Structures are given as C-alpha cells and as structure tokens.
Structure 1
Amino acid sequence: MKKNYFVFIFFASVNFLFSQNTFAGLEFSPVWGSEKLEKDKKYTLKDDVISISKLKFYVSDICFKKSGKTIYKNQEKSFLIDLENKLEINFDKNISEDFDEIQFIIGIDSLTNVSGAMGGDLDPVNGMYWSWQSGYINFKVEGTSKKSTFPHKYFQFHVGGYLQPFSALQTVVLPLKNKRNTILIDILQFLSQIDLNKTHTVMSPGEKSMILARQFQKVFFVGN
C-alpha cells in the first residue's frame, strides 16, 4: 500500500511539472491603456471621446523561437481574432520545448489571397474579405469619435493589401518568458497616433492603409 502511494505521488509530480512546462495556446486581450477594452464603452483620449464597436484581425504563421531559431511552427496557418467572439487560439498540440520568443504575422499572405475565398476563419461570411478587391482585410477597427467628421461620428479602418507597393502585411516579434501566453493589444496607443478629425475612413489598400498597418503592428505586448 505504501509503495503504491509513493508511485502515485511520483506520477502526480511528473504530471504537475509537465503541465507547468507546456504551452497549449494564446489569449489575445484588447486593452485601452491599463484597462480591458469593452465594446461600445466610451473612453477619453485628450479632447476626444471614443468608443470601439468592432475589432477584428488575422493572426498567421505563428512560430516559437529559441535564440533566433524556430523550434515550433503551428500547423494551422491563419486565425481570426474578434473582440466580440473569439480571443483565444488553441494549438494542435501542447508545446513542451523551451523558447524565448514568439513570431506571427498580422494579416493574410499573398499566396492565400490569390487562392480566393476559403472556409473556416477565412470564410467571407466573417466580414473580412473584399469581394470587389478579391482579397482579405488584415484588420478592422471601427467605432465613434467626437472629432470625426464622418456621418454619425463614425470612423472605419479596414486595412489590407497584398500587392506591392501597398502590401500591408506586418510581422510581430515578442519575447515570451515563463510560458506567459496573454498578448495585449493596446487600442489607446493605436488611436493616439491618428487624428480622427482628418483620418476617419480607410477602406482600401494604399499609402494610408500601410501607415495604419505599421502603427497597428506596434501595439502588441506580452501580458504580465
């Protein structure tokens, strides 16, 4: 009986240690500065009052690195993150290898774009595909701003484009320590860089779309 007890303790300890050293997925957490971002809540930004009604973006080609070398790349290529519906990504297997960095792309690459509309997270019913453009929207941010001159004070940013010279694809590289798996997206920082009185609508590929893409790429951080 005593022997079986120690066998049980041993395997329980192994399972505990293994569970502490595996990585099963990512959680994306949109924030407004230091607080969680809430849909349609009014936030103050200097002399403006802003609310966010929609936030969607694609995360593609997720890989983990150690000292700059890729040690794991997730098999599923692209995931749609949505403030209203989906903020988590579960991997096809737990990652037990040691790593110090995560890399992913914001948006959909050119090969996928020219393959036409697909299913799952890439299904056009998700509202992230330009039928007139025959291409995917990398990210959407929509809401209202007191400063916007658009009807009903709306602002709408639908950012995409895969053809040069207006490819809006952006790579994000973040340090990961202690198996933390929460990635913050600071929408306050993103909108702080935009004069919503002058720029309130971007709905097609071009220079403005590329500027917004570069700004969006810089608002991803690893949570504590």
Structure 2
Amino acid sequence: MTTPEHPSPPPPPSVPQTRDRAYRSPAGIAGGVLLLAIAGWLGIDAVVAGEGRTPWLALATLLLVVPVVVAYTVRPAVFAGEDRLRVRNPLRVVVLPWGRVASLRSGYSNEVVADSGAKYQLWAVPVSLRARKKAARQETRRAAGEAPRGGLFGGRGGGGPLGAAGADRAAALAADDGPVRAETDRIMDELRALREARESEPTAQGEVTVRWAYEVIAPAVTGAVLLAVLLALG
C-alpha cells in the first residue's frame, strides 16, 4: 500500500536586506581629488626628472601626504543602517548601535553622543554656517509670502511680495516641503528620525566599538620617518 506524498513546506520568504544610507561631503571629495592630482603630478615629476636624493625625498613626501589627504577628504563617511550608525572619520571608525546613541547634536560641528557620554564628530557631515543663513533667509521669504530671488514668481530680478495667488502657492509649497533647511541639517534630521524609530529594537543593541585606521596611520608614519631620516642625513 502506497502512502500519499506530502509536499514539502515552502521555504520561508527571504527578508530583503536594506542598504545603509551613505553620507559624504561632495566638497571634501572634490578638494581631495584636486589635492591628490597636484601632489601626484609634482611627485611623479620629481621622481622622473629629479637628481640625487630628490626622487627619494619625493617618494617619502608622497608616502606621507597621500594618506593624510585621503584620510581628511575622501575617506570620511557616515553609514546609517537599520540597527547601527557607522562613522568613518579620518583616523577612526566608530560603530554605534542605535540603542547606544544618546543624541545627535548640531552646533558649529555635527556630532553623535553615545550613552556613555563619549562624543564623536561626523567629519562627513560638516556644518556650513553660510548654508544655514541662506536657508534661513529663504524660509523667512517663503513664510512672508515672497518669491525667492530668481524664482518662478519673482522673474529674473524678482523677490518682491506676491499677489494673492502667489502667496497661496508659496504657502502650499511650504506645507508640502516643510521648512527650508541646510543640507547637512536635513541629514541630521534624517539620522535623528532613524534613531527614534530604531533605538528600542532588539537588533539595535550592543556595544560601541572604535577602531583606529591603521591603513592610513601606518603609511603616513612610515613616510614621515623616511622623510625625517633623509633630511637628517643631509
């Protein structure tokens, strides 16, 4: 007697992995790439065309300068995931579970504060006082029902008060888009909202970890030592 075959249960649905939100400073990256291009051009020229100790001095200088430039311009980034915040600063990488983040502060610099009281600056999210002032002026004009300069209602040299229809349109835009904020302030608002939503989740608990960026420190120190030795030898 044969027994009916029972179909195997379907596999559990896979949980989609949410990619971390990455925040970097475009201005910092652009400046770093420019500095690296200049350093590479001058260094390679000195290595190829230099005489005596000049090529060795150029190589030692490049070994010192390149890691430092990369560390402070291209390297900084902030990665915000569902469970933790990873801060990649020039010389350290700090991982903070959302349950251990006490606050995210914005002043003359943006920083994250752990529940232990330790503070870590967000190098990738620099504060721009100029951008804040510009956003404050735009918000003031919009709240007063005025068109932004060069905007849709003000013409090329506009900026004066709108009519009734224009004021209604400005009010609608304010209601839809919210207050005008500087870019880095909007990023901090996103991080605060993510922390508030995830800080009590079981997967967002754990220990704060800090790792030194030896991949940056080691070549920079080596280059500094070599440069010092070459200069000392005269």
Q: Same fold (TM over 0.5)?
A: no
Q: Higher Cα Rg: structure 1 or 2?
A: 2
More helix by share: 2
The structure in which a higher percent of residues are strand is 1
Instruction: Identify the TM-score tier after normalising by the shorter chain.
Output: under 0.3
TM norm structure 1? 0.24
TM-score, normalisation: structure 2: 0.23
